[in-house]
Amino acid sequence: MGCSNSGSPAYGEMSWFCCGSSWGPCGSAGHGACGTCNSGSHQCAWPNTSDACFGITHPDQCGEGLARRTCGHVFYVTSVCSGKCVSVSIADCGPDTNPFCGERSCCGSTCYTNRIIDLTPSAYSAIADLSTGLSPARIDS
Amino acid sequence: MPQPDRRRFLTSAVLGGSAVAGATALGSLAPEAAFAAPPKIKLDPGALDPNFAEGRITGISGSLLRASGSDRTLHRVHVTDGTSIWKLHPTTFDQIKVGDGFYARGVRLPDGSLAADAIWVNIVNLDASIAAIEAARLHLDHNGKRVIGHVVGGRTAAVYGSAPAVADLTRLQVGRHVKVIGAWRPDTNEVDVATVYSGA
């Protein structure tokens, strides 16, 4: 599989997060739940990497039936706004989906709901502008 | 007339050794313009991205930024008239200072330097909870540490749920989880807030 060609993609909001060695408020971020996360690598956080992770993020409370995927699993994330796609591997648990249930991001008339994936700055900036913070995306396995 | 290729343009501009005149021939220089090119992302998942750099700026020579990466890698980043620059808002090269943190994306040149398509200066994206609210400041708890978020008149906006961004911050509540896009004030625990996303 690859970009935009799997049978059961997920649609939602993507954001970005820092991890690994960093500066400023990110300096205390650490290397993520998988111990491998670095801002300069094409990696992501997924809200259902383990029971403990799911117990924090609870995407189910937003109506999201996201599959269990563990460290190293590869997703293909396509930005609705740019049409660009990046491949990323899971390196952390997140985002914290349930505090923001119903939140929606749009690009033109295409809108997707709920935060379902966080990308590292290098991955997010490959397909979107970091200053947007949130953006609609399609996720394929 | 076809749109010039932004990456080829940046590369030739740097190799030419001079600032670029007439960059507006590329169209908008806003950050989002850097992502308008066709999709060509070829990199193994999990791999370090050679076309990306981050760290703290240690020196500025003409249009060249020298920087120390958080992993102690030394970077040289070329900024041209075609580079989009963000520092709380889209801005100009003269606003970049030694000591600033940054993320940059561009084209890696044969000499190892990076010709920047886009550079985000001091940008942060914080998951936090609101500990206290003052007239011009938000007290945020982020990863167990306190961060002060300064409200910037004419810039700071709030997004409540799926509604459009507004300048009204009065619906923010203590204890609420928020996401904050802002610009770090170097060597402090303070940020200037661009956008605060609140769940409802």
For B40-44, B66-70, B123-127, which range has the lowest pLDDT when averaged over its residues? B40-44
Whole-angstrom CA distances from B72 to A22, A23, B65 are 10, 11, 15
Q: What is the pLDDT of residues A29-49, one digit of tens each?
A: 789 999 999 999 999 999 999
Do A137 and A112 meet the contact criterion of CB atoms below 8 Å apart?
yes
Sorted by where each starts, the structural domains of chain A and their CATH numbers stand as 10-21+31-140 (2.40.40.10)
pLDDT given for residue A21 in this prediction = 87
Is A141 in CB contact (< 8 Å) with chain B? no
pLDDT value, residue B13: 64
Q: What pLDDT was estimated at residue B43?
A: 73
pLDDT at residue B86 is higher than 60? yes
Q: What is the mean pLDDT of residues A83-97?
A: 96
Confidence of residue A14 (pLDDT cuts 50, 70, 90): very high
Kindly state which CATH superfamily the domain B123-198 is placed in.
Nucleic acid-binding proteins (2.40.50.140)
Beta strands in A39-126 (DSSP E): 43-46, 74-79, 85-93, 104-107, 110-113, 115-119
Using a CB-CB distance cutoff of 8 angstroms, which residues of chain B are in contact with residue A129? Answer: 31-32, 34-35, 86, 118
Q: Chain A: nearest CA to B89, how far in angstroms?
A: 8
pLDDT at B38: 42
Mutate to test the interface with B, among A3, A84, A101, A129 (most CBs of B within 10 A): A129
Average pLDDT over residues B99-127: 97
Q: Is A122 left (phi over 0), alpha (psi -120 to 50) or beta?
A: alpha
Note the pLDDT of residue B20: 40
Mean pLDDT of chain B: 85
Pinpoint the residues of chain B covered by CATH 2.40.50.140: 6-121, 123-198
Amino acid at the residue A15: S
Looking at residues B125-152, what average pLDDT do you find? 95
Check pLDDT > 80 for residue A64: yes
3-state secondary structure (DSSP) of residue B74: strand
Q: What is the pLDDT of residue B9?
A: 62
A–B CB contacts, 8 A cutoff, strictly below: 168
For domain B6-121, the CATH class is mainly beta
Higher-confidence position of B72 and B28: B72
pLDDT of residue B15: 54
The pLDDT score that the predictor gives to residue B93 is 97
More confident residue, B56 or B20: B56
Question: Is the per-residue pLDDT at A26 higher than 50?
Answer: yes
Q: In this predicted model, which residue has the larger pLDDT, B44 or B112?
A: B112
Tell me if B129 sits within 8 A of B141, measured CB to CB: yes
Average pLDDT over residues B150-170: 93
What was the pLDDT predicted at A7? Answer: 78
CB contact under 8 A, A122 and B52: yes
* Torsions phi, psi for B168 (to 5 deg): -75, 115
Q: Using DSSP, how many helices (H) and how many strands (E) does chain B show?
A: 1, 13
Is residue B21 over pLDDT 80? no
